[in-house]
A and B are shown apart, each in its own frame.
Chain A
Amino acid sequence: MSDGGGVVAAATGAEALSTELPVGRSAGWWGMVMFVATEATLFACLLGSYFYLRFQYGPQWPPDGIGAPELLKPLVMTAVLVPSSLPVIWAEHGIRHGQRWRLRSGLAATMLLGMTFLALQATEYAEKLKHFTMTTDAYGSLFYLITGFHGLHVLVGLTMIGWLLAASLRGGSFGSHRHERVRNVAIYWHFVDLVWVAILFTIYLSPRL
């Protein structure tokens, strides 16, 4: 596919075009990257709002009666969520080589870890809600909006992964020539993991600095 022939080459090399493995980034890849970019900006705005309100608030942060956030549970949650990117990578590389069992097992493992994360978050909420809610003050509003919004993203990611798993189990929808969607969902999942690290720093670690 040299420059010399241009579209003529593209067209006369018809067979080459249709049988060659995809080269370069696909449109779907770019679409997912742009979507993740706008979502990342959204989280940046949320975390920026956190710091803005914090610095306007005064020396006591979190406010009186709430106290610095517990660290143990969020660290456990991190230890569950961040490694969950590994089975996604395993699954994606597997299907590139046509190994459907790797796709299925990797996705299943990710789902397990993601659901564990959500379960842990639910117990954390149950605990926190005894002390403060969204309506207690601005700290509570920020805490539940930011972590809740991230939890929603985990849920969306899990839905996408469950969808891939279902499509794959239903019978060979993905193969060595057709794994774009696995790659795109993987990008989204890595993004959800990375955002959690930023949230861990902002909500749980920064008040202790």
Chain B
Amino acid sequence: MSTTTTPPPGVSEQDLARLAEHWGERPSLRGWFSTVDHKKIGRRYLVTAGFFFVLAGLSALVMRTQLARPEAGVVSPQEYNQLFSMHGTAMIFLFATPMLFGFGNFLVPLMIGARDMAFPRLNAFGYWVFLFAGLFMWASLPFGAAPNNGWFAYVPLSGEQHNPGLHMDVYALGLLFLGISTTAASINFIVTALKLRAPGMSLNRVPLFVWAIVATAFMVIFALPALNVDNAMLFLDRRFGTHFFDPSGGGNVLLWQHLFWIFGHPDVYIIVMPALGIVSAVLPAFTRRGVVGYPLIVLSIVSIAIISFGVWVHHMFATGLPQLSYSFFSAASTIITIPSGIQIFAWLATMLLGRLVLRVPLLYVIGFVVTFVLGGFTGAMFALTAFDQQVTDSYFVVAHFHYVLIGGAVFPMLAGIYYWLPKITGRMYHERLGRWAFWLVFAGMHVTFFPMHLYGLFGMPRRVYTYRSEPGWDGWNLVSTVGSYLLAVGLLLVLVGVVHALRRGRPAPPDPWEGDSLEWATASPPEPYNFPVLPRVHSLHPAWDERTAESVRAGATADRILSDGRRTLVTSELDAHPERAVQMPESTLMPLVLAGALLVFFTSMLFAWYPVAAVAALAVAATIAVWLWPSRRPDEELGVSG
């Protein structure tokens, strides 16, 4: 841990030592496995999601190598199917959301001035489930048993009849397993942001990043069940002969698509929204002013979260639905561009009115605006049903969603990595290395994906493992492949930059960027207890506000109740008035044990060892019962959270 903390006046060295004793863990193996510290869990999310990103990226490189020339034979059709399915599934479920939840885990308690998440043990549990579910899915690839029907897994192709073997069982069970983690994390984010905000941080002073994370969590709460129901039905159809998607037994294949896109379209915003939150968090530090139009951005975040549930059918314009539903969903898909546009204009105005400091994070923000807007344009084109019918299932679609997802999620994530690296690691990155990486990533991305618009329009279908030599396809495919290698080199340089910072980076001060939110009011990296004295918030930019610093000095002498044990302050939902001090749970191995029992359950379901699965289910119930068994603490009147 860093030794840079100088105690605020009024806080003695003994106070800090006592806080460190209450919140720290012993540096042992047991301590490593049992930690519930949101910062460690956040770092683990980031590293693990990054690892799955590398695997999914390598899958893409193999695919681009195969597609560089017509009729190549680098991989077989079966291998290709597994590669593109795992690429998509992993990028969406094992990289994008967990990566952003990693940022959220690390940052939300710091930004709102709390000492941990509302449910620290649930938080640790969510991480272990994410790790195990990710390994569960990736482990199938070396055995040639990986999902092979795309990340959307349309029936009947994913059904037993057309797709025997374990492939789609891995998909259905893996996503059900992972869904536990995503749901747990989402509930935790919402409650943390509602109840643990520092006194004075009323709803109109909540950082935009926290708003974005909370809106995302709400979308997960209401979207993910549709995917879970879908996968449960798919598994039952495949394994136990039910007929949900089987027309010969009265089922319907479109039911899969409806449920999938009821989840799937909000999921696009689940991925992009927190990334947009990162943009709003990064901009103030590099424009030297608050983001323009805070209330408008909050409204836009909330309305996107709502409207995103009304657009799912635009993924299904080619399925022959009634005309009225085309009109409704076409209109909804057009309307959702308005709140998205509001945010873009707010950021542009911020940059125009501010004083730009052109460091790496800001470069990625500018790269994001350019790329995301292009992706948004092609997205608006799909709202026209006729155009959609022309380009659906072609490379044009592949180009579009990579512009949206790389532009809208990966670039902001990279901005976030450079921006918060000093806070997370306590080390500064190498600026020139970062710039090189940016230009390679930016150029590589556009060289790879821009040509796809063209050969998509020329008629090249997606999800094909090879193609005949066609005028207009060959050359551009080669360009795409060259671009994908450029992009890979750029991303490798990002990784080199992170490792370089960890090894050689100069130590970071608490606030190297003069950021505006509360995470910059702590040490880099933060102490286990986050804040020696919980701050009092007076404005939208507490770290720029002298009154907040003053409150820390004034509160210091009187913060005894909150530092006398593993405690944090619970405040009211709207105004963040202090309500009570709560005891927070200690480190425990139970989250790991519970996630392990679930892993046994899902693995035995996969291999049809049903008696083992039944035992594992009982073990899960027993573990939860023991975990939650009430202790009889002497200070029970504090109320126990967790």
Contacts and interface: CB of A to CB of B under 8 A. Distances in A.
Interface string B470-505: 000000000000000000000000000000000000
A86 B637 CA distance: 27
Given A24-B573, A27-B195, A137-B250, A18 B637 contact: yes
B554 A8 contact: yes
B578 A167 contact: no
B79 interface: no
A141 B252 CA distance: 12
A75 interface: no
A180 interface: yes
Nearest to B245: A138
Contacts of B222: 37-38, 41
B256 to A, nearest CB: 10
Contact of A52 (B190, B252, B573): B252
A11 B560 contact: yes
B558 A11 contact: yes
Nearest to A49: B255
Contacts of B186: 34, 38
Interface in A1-58: 1, 3, 6-12, 14, 17-20, 22-28, 30-31, 34-35, 37-39, 41-42, 44-46, 49, 52-53, 56-57
B110 to A, nearest CB: 16
Nearest to A1: B578
Interface in B155-183: 183
Given A6-B536, A138-B246, A28 B641 contact: yes
Interface in A83-125: none
B387 interface: no
B579 A22 contact: yes
* Best-surrounded residue of B119, B233, B561, B635 (most CB of chain A within 10 A): B561
B241 A27 contact: no
Interface stretch (A171-179, A191-199, A201-209): A171-179
Interface string A117-141: 0000000000000000011111111
B630 interface: yes
A10 B250 contact: no
B480 to A, nearest CB: 38
Interface stretch (B24-32, B224-232, B420-428): B224-232
A145 interface: yes
B236 A134 contact: yes
B255 A27 contact: no
Interface string B628-642: 111010011111111
Contact of A7 (B569, B572, B640): B569
A41 B570 CA distance: 28
B194 interface: yes
Given A8-B551, A9-B578, A177-B637, A14 B560 contact: yes
B60 to A, nearest CB: 32
B142 interface: no
B199 interface: yes
Nearest to B621: A159
B638 A18 contact: yes
A165 B228 CA distance: 32
Contacts of B293: none
B85 to A, nearest CB: 24
Given A19-B637, A22-B579, A38 B225 contact: yes
Contacts of B629: 167
B233 A26 contact: no
Interface in B236-254: 236, 240-244, 246, 249-252, 254
A17 B561 contact: yes
B191 A31 contact: yes
Contact of A17 (B233, B555, B578): B578
Interface residues of A, number: 61
A18 B578 CA distance: 12
A27 B581 contact: no
A108 B60 CA distance: 58
A63 interface: yes
Given A30-B194, A37-B221, A173-B632, A141 B242 contact: yes
Contacts of A57: 250
Contacts of B642: 27-28
A60 to B, nearest CB: 10
B250 A22 contact: no
A138 B118 CA distance: 42
Given A27-B191, A49-B244, A7 B630 contact: no
A163 B625 contact: yes
Interface string A52-78: 110011000001000000000000000
A45 B222 CA distance: 10
29 contacts: A6-B200, A6-B536, A7-B198, A7-B569, A11-B562, A17-B581, A18-B581, A27-B570, A27-B641, A30-B118, A30-B195, A31-B118, A38-B221, A38-B222, A49-B233, A49-B255, A53-B250, A56-B252, A135-B249, A138-B242, A141-B243, A141-B249, A173-B632, A175-B636, A177-B636, A177-B637, A178-B639, A180-B639, A181-B630
Interface of B: 118-119, 183, 186-188, 190-191, 194-196, 198-200, 221-222, 224-226, 228-229, 232-233, 236, 240-244, 246, 249-252, 254-255, 258-259, 262, 534-536, 551, 554-555, 558-562, 569-570, 572-573, 575, 577-582, 621, 625, 628-630, 632, 635-642
Cβ-closest 8 pairs across A and B: A10-B578, A138-B250, A42-B225, A141-B242, A14-B561, A11-B558, A135-B241, A173-B630
Interface of A: 1, 3, 6-12, 14, 17-20, 22-28, 30-31, 34-35, 37-39, 41-42, 44-46, 49, 52-53, 56-57, 63, 134-142, 145, 159, 163, 167, 171-175, 177-178, 180-181
